[in-house]
Structure 1
Amino acid sequence: MADLAIDRESSEFKKGIHAGISIGIGYFPIALTFGLLAKTSGLSIYETVFMSIIVFAGASQYISLSLIAYGTGILEIILTTFIVNIRHFLMSATLNEKSEEDHLFNKIFYSFGITDETFSVAATREGKVSTGFMLGLNSVAYVSWVVWSGIGHLIGASLPQTLQESMGVALYAMFIGLLVPSMKKSVKVIFLAVLGAVFNSIFTLGNIMAQGWSIVTATLLSAIIIEIAEVMKTRNRGEHDEE
């Protein structure tokens, strides 16, 4: 029985690796760019690779680079990345319902590797997902992200100094590239982005608070206001339908 269980997990692990290859390939340009920008932001290759190892969250790592460039404190960076990654609570809870029963430690272990992409692959797979499958899926994505982050930093180190300094513009271009697809799908995202930008501008230009705290506060305020507006809109629509 034990041999059969091991063989099954091995088979599931291989299936997970196969399913994760496309994710690993997709991470190549994003992780490479992160490593390149990390170099131009002043991070060493050890700091860059270590961040990818312990954080493993693309959007949060890009935001961290921006905050580091502003000289933001550790607490503000932690709070900002926490807010950005709140969706992982929902993804993990959803995936837990689809996962096979296993030891809690195993689930905690592979839940670290859940990203938007690995969640999508696992959530759309037919039937239950096993620990072996999740480990295989996450391993490919994780290794790809960490390795290409380091390679991106090495490439950045070989670029001329003037080009390295000008690469800071690419960080904002990356944020726009991440934001635009979501804005096309939802008007709510557009209002959220605009409102967040307005609040952040008011807080920073008015010298009300430091750059790091202004980003955290603007994000929270805009999210709360948009959600309140959404609830009120839904409630009014329900009252109108009853009439």
Structure 2
Amino acid sequence: MFRQGALAVSPLCIAVIPWGLLAGSFAIEAGMNVMQSVAMSAIVFAGAAQLVATGLIKAGVGILTILLTTFFITSRHLLYSITMRPTISPLPLRWRLGLGFLLTDELFALCGNHSPKRFQPWYALGAGLWFYISWNLATLAGIFAGKYIPNLDELGLDFAIAATFIAIVIPTIQRWSVLISVLVAMFASVVAEALAIEGGLMIASLLAMICGYSIERIFGNTTFEHLNKKEEQA
């Protein structure tokens, strides 16, 4: 199960390599030394939060602002942990702490919908640990690349961030409420960016959640497969 989990997350490990390279090189560019850059990836282990925090450090922003910003960026992990709590809570403390540290968007995409009977701790550990190792190797490569390759951030590596989340989100679109949420978030975020609205990403996220929740309340937890069966019966 450990090996199966590592194999299952491997495509996402490959997709996140450019992101890790960017995070590592950006840390060096922001004035961190090698040890500080390595420690940031090893301890924080959150790509989006690392990139934003590094940018704030480079801009000389205070520690309170950095903490608040990264708190809001990573607050989705609270939702992940609440969703997986019924599955994880029966496990011993060492398992809860380990899997809690390794819980990322990628691990949630693989294991977040597993029922308590289906969930395999060793599968989750293999996936989470292999992704952790891959992320740190990628950022380590970015750290050394940042010292010798100038303007690495201008190579378009940041597209890997969008590509990774697209790969995570698309397979989860199995219900109408989720599809509506994705479409609303996409449209609202593009409009907010075009109009230069501050906090547009947060506004788009809230609108998407409200619309998705409303659709589910009105029409129920309807999947595409369920709708197709109804049409066949009709």
Q: What's the TM-score, normalizing by structure 2? A: 0.68
> What secondary structure is seen at the aligned counterpart in 1 of 2:118?
coil
Q: What RMSD, in angstroms, separates the aligned Cα atoms of the two structures?
A: 3.7
SS at match of 1:186: helix
Q: CA deviation at 1:20?
A: 2.8
Greater mean deviation of Cα atoms: 100-109 or 51-60: 100-109
Indicate the structure (1 or 2) with the bigger Cα radius of gyration. 1
2:185 paired with 1:188: yes
Question: Residue by residue, what CA displacement relative to the aligned partner does 1:35-80 show, whole Å, maximum 9, x if unpaired?
Answer: 1222222222211111111111111111112212221111111111
Name 1:140's counterpart in structure 2: 130
Could you tell me the TM-score, scaled by structure 1's length? Answer: 0.66
Relative distance call for 1:45 and 1:92 in structure 2 (3 A) is: same
Q: In the alignment, is the contact (CA less than 8 A) between 2:6 and 2:130 conserved in 1?
A: yes
2:185–2:205 CA contact under 8 A, matched in 1: no
Per-residue CA distance 1:99-154 (angstroms, 9 max, x = gap)? 48311342122111111111111135575223222221111000111111011110
Higher helix residue share:
1
Q: What percentage of aligned pairs have identical amino acids?
A: 27
Query: What is the distance in 2 between the residues matched to 1:129 and 1:109?
Result: 15
| 1:7 corresponding residue in structure 2 | none
> Are residue 46 (structure 1) and residue 43 (structure 2) matched?
no
* Pair 81,194 (structure 1): closer, same or farther in 2 beyond 3 Å: farther
Q: Secondary structure at the match of 2:16?
A: helix
Q: Are the structure 2 counterparts of residues 16 and 228 from structure 1 closer, same or farther at C-alpha, using a change threshold of 3 Å?
A: closer
CA pair 193-132 structure 1, distance change in 2 beyond 3 A = same
Q: Counterparts in 2 of 1:1-243, with a 5 A limit?
A: 12-99=1-88, 101-124=90-113, 127-159=117-149, 163-164=150-151, 167=152, 169=154, 174=159, 177=162, 185-192=182-189, 195=192, 198=196, 200=198, 218=199, 222=203, 226=207
Contact 1:100 / 1:129 at 8 angstroms: preserved in 2?
A: no
Q: Which runs of 5+ in 2 are unaligned?
A: 170-180, 219-234
| Aligned-pair CA distance for 1:91 | 1.0
SS at match of 1:46: helix
Cα 1:191–1:170 change in 2 (3 A) is farther
Instruction: Assess if the C-alpha contact under 8 Å between 1:18 and 1:137 holds in 2.
Output: yes
Q: Residue type of the partner of 2:112? A: A
Number of aligned positions between the proteins: 202
What residue in structure 1 maps to residue 174 of structure 2? none
Structure 1 residues 174 and 39, CA gap change in structure 2 (3 angstroms) = farther
Distance 1:116 1:67, change over 3 A: same
Q: Distance in 2 between matches of 1:180 and 1:113?
A: 17
| Cα offset, 1:30, TM superposition | 1.5
